Structure 1
């Protein structure tokens, strides 16, 4: 599995504080809008770090954007791992675990949709796409591992494949509602609570169904 690249932190306190202000200001701007709104001048204004100091650290806003994305994705990954760990510790039966996991995944994505939108909108950049894919794959694997802990209760003849499919379908439906990536025009269509409930029911039904495969 591909891991997110590490971002080196400055060792001096003053440099570290300045970098934290830069990153915080950049995240704030991105959360409010798009990549186009992320300008060196606006970052400098909000962070209190001079334009010259910003260019001393980054070649331009493209490099800063990548650094911000790496930091954000590392934070989101840590949060997702924590959420799934706590859910695992509840030792829920599959019939309760699946809806709880889908509900948790939905609220996690909605909570961070604002910062995810500008990242996904830049998926044509190979570096951005690579970082995003690494996070997606880690989340997917954690989702699979959690449900496969209850694999003996899954009646589908191919449990791991079925669980992966549930993650794929759920993620696509949630991303569409939240306007992530190419689904921006469909943002907000339907009822959020009903969507979460339906995804839970759908995935549970799929996993609990002993699908009869057609004879070749």
Structure 2
């Protein structure tokens, strides 16, 4: 099965390079650097926003303010580093998840049912960070560009896996149908997890009923002749 590369996209590479002023090389410096990133990620998740200070990072990560400024020119640069790390992790983990689902399936209908369940769980695990990243992306082109690139790469990777069931998709443009199906699934899952929407849009009872039906709808669409 062919898969897309999970090396950083150009935008993600640019974001990562813009983040760090001075990269650590030795063990102790690397450990301190990692604590800065971990502490920042934890605070982003806990606060659900960027509403914290470098002093908060210093105390949480047990690193000095001077050490932080040695690596990052500003809090914004530190956020860039964490966002770049998170986006790269998401695209790599999603690719692995999709391959794992495909390995369990022998047909398209089975793939869709299992994929929707696994994708929902996967997005749920990352939803907290993705909400904060989306907030930043809405005002910062340096974040929005790699965010879009990683989303498109994830779409391309999953589309490639779906194309292994090409014979079951009744369309001359099977790839387009596969992509549109994935957009539909993402839109439904994103709304359920309040990604890009309000928290009030969540309704667990509706989602319990909708999730299996979504697989049936997607399968019917893919099996419908043009």
Contact 1:30 1:118 in 2 (8 A): yes
Whether 1:25 aligns to 2:39 is yes
Matched residue, 2:169:
154
Q: Residues 129-186 of structure 1: CA distance to partner in whole angstroms, max 9, x if unpaired?
A: 11211221111011101111111111134211111111111111211111112x1244
> Could you say if the C-alpha distance between residues 24 and 136 of structure 1 is closer, same or farther in structure 2, counting changes exceeding 3 Å?
same
- Quote the offset at 1:198 in angstroms: 2.3
2:29 counterpart (15, 20, 31): 15
Matched residue, 1:174:
189
1:136 counterpart (151, 154, 159): 151
Number of aligned pairs? Answer: 210
Moved more, 188-197 or 54-63: 188-197
Whether 1:205 aligns to 2:220 is yes
> Could you say if the C-alpha distance between residues 48 and 103 of structure 1 is closer, same or farther in structure 2, counting changes exceeding 3 Å?
same
Give 5+ residue unaligned stretches, structure 2: none
Q: CA RMSD in A?
A: 1.9
1:54, 1:141 → 2: CA distance? Answer: 37
Structure 1 length normalisation: TM-score? 0.90
- Quote the offset at 1:204 in angstroms: 0.8
1:34, 1:92 → 2: CA distance? Answer: 40
Structure 2 length normalisation: TM-score? 0.86
2:160 counterpart (141, 145, 159): 145
1:208, 1:53 → 2: CA distance? Answer: 58
Q: Residues 78-121 of structure 1: CA distance to partner in whole angstroms, max 9, x if unpaired?
A: 21121112222234211111111122211110111111110011
1:166, 1:126 → 2: CA distance? Answer: 28
1:53, 1:26 → 2: CA distance? Answer: 14
1:207, 1:128 → 2: CA distance? Answer: 34
1:102 counterpart (116, 120, 125): 116
